[in-house]
Amino acid sequence: MAAGTPRDTDILVIGGGIAGCATAYYLAREGADVLVLERDEINAHASGSNSGSLHAQIPYEPFDEIGEDWAAVFAPSLRLLRASMALWRALPAELGADLEVSFGGGLIAAENEAQMRVVERKAALERAHGLDVEMLSAADLRRMAPYLADDLAGGAICATEGKANPLLATPALARAARAYGARIQTGIAVTSLAREGTGFRAATAQGAVRARRVVNAAGAEASGVSRLLGLDVPIEGFAIQTSVTETAAPMGGHLVYFAGGRLTLKQAKNGSLLIGGGWPATRDGAGCLRVNWASLIANLALARRLVPEVARLKLVRTWPATVNGTADWKPVLGEVPGIPGFYMTVFPWLGFSAGPIVARVTADLLLGRDPGFDLAPFSAARYLGDAKRG
């Protein structure tokens, strides 16, 4: 549904990425009156431009660089990620759509004993939080992933992890939400948001919308939406890039990481390799995203080091996208203290992976259900002064 005059609603969802469309789906199938407003097109930003990794582990780079104190604070998020993986497994049948979901496991490779010790410490913390992680010797790694370089020290595998096609997932959720009666309108930007009586009034160029409750699912723009209500949440947009190669011989279906540098690598259903890892893209003076050539060269060098076959493949495309991030990597989830009826649904850095679970949790809260998680560690209260917490 393109831009038109939006009508009043019980629940207004701002943002048409995976979190927004999944929230609308989980609400609408229970009969809720829900309207999604997206300023551009459905799936136009990070939800459709990421590389499709389904993460469930503690990210290696911040664990190594920031430390185990950071990881201990982040670790409660693992329960959400595990639950999201279960939802991802069920979604293709539930939606009647091939989302190219597969779970070949997340494989991290280390090239020396120092890196192995970091992988071991990370795996121990992950297992303490219920994640299935198995350490691998050099021989284990060669047997499990013969496509990797043959001089690696070993690694670990997390069977919970996998991949999906980001070009298919959010549109399928949007179609299902609409089938259950959700209204999803594109090309409509919310320009102001204010309390009005017991609800909210959202202004757009196409007219005002009154809603009893509002869900902020705006991803990298979530901080800007929150500021409309005087809430300062330090969610930033980070420009990163991903590359895809021509098709290659089958490589085992793993989501591959490298302890020797910032890298994710996996094989799509069509045989192409998707190469990423969060390398920065460039934003020009006009605010447009551009490929960062230094990042591209460094990213591909790591991919070639870990998977020698990459050197023989042609690069088809590299593209930039903006993802949301916070310093602590923790979700910002639930009703905001002091702003009744206003809900956050943000999982920084890992938003595609966590999209289904943050949506389902948000829908449960709006429907008056116990979401089954302790959301206190993820509350926006950590960013508020005492006055607003009350």
What are 108-166's pLDDT values in tens digits? 999 999 999 999 999 999 999 999 999 999 999 999 999 999 999 999 999 999 999 99
Homologous superfamily (CATH) of 102-160+237-325 is D-Amino Acid Oxidase, subunit A, domain 2 (3.30.9.10)
Tokens encoding 245: 């190669």
171-208 core/surface letters (b: 16 or more CB in 10 A; e: else):
bbbbbbbbebebbbbbbbebeebeeeeebbbbebeeee
Domain ranges of the chain: 9-48+167-235+328-389, 102-160+237-325
What dotted CATH number matches 9-48+167-235+328-389? 3.50.50.60
Mean pLDDT of 260-281: 96
Q: What is the pTM of this model?
A: 0.94
Q: What is the pLDDT of residue 385?
A: 64
Residue 3: pLDDT over 80: no
Q: Find all residues with CB under 8 Å of 363, minimum gap 6, and list them.
A: 23, 26, 27, 30, 32
Q: What is the pLDDT of residue 2?
A: 53
Q: What is the pLDDT of residue 327?
A: 82
What are 279-313's pLDDT values in tens digits? 999 998 888 899 999 999 999 999 999 999 999 99
Distance CA 335, CA 332 (A): 10
Q: Find all residues with CB under 8 Å of 147, minimum gap 6, and list them.
A: 251, 252, 307, 309
Nearest to 36 by CA among 313, 133, 47: 47
Distance CA 20, CA 26 (A): 10
What are 314-373's pLDDT values in tens digits? 999 999 999 999 888 999 999 999 999 999 999 999 999 999 999 999 999 999 999 999
Residue 388: pLDDT over 70: no
Return the biggest CA–CA distance within the chain: 66
Q: What is the pLDDT of residue 285?
A: 83
Q: Find all residues with CB under 8 Å of 256, minimum gap 6, and list them.
A: 107, 108, 109, 145, 148, 263, 264, 265, 266, 306, 307
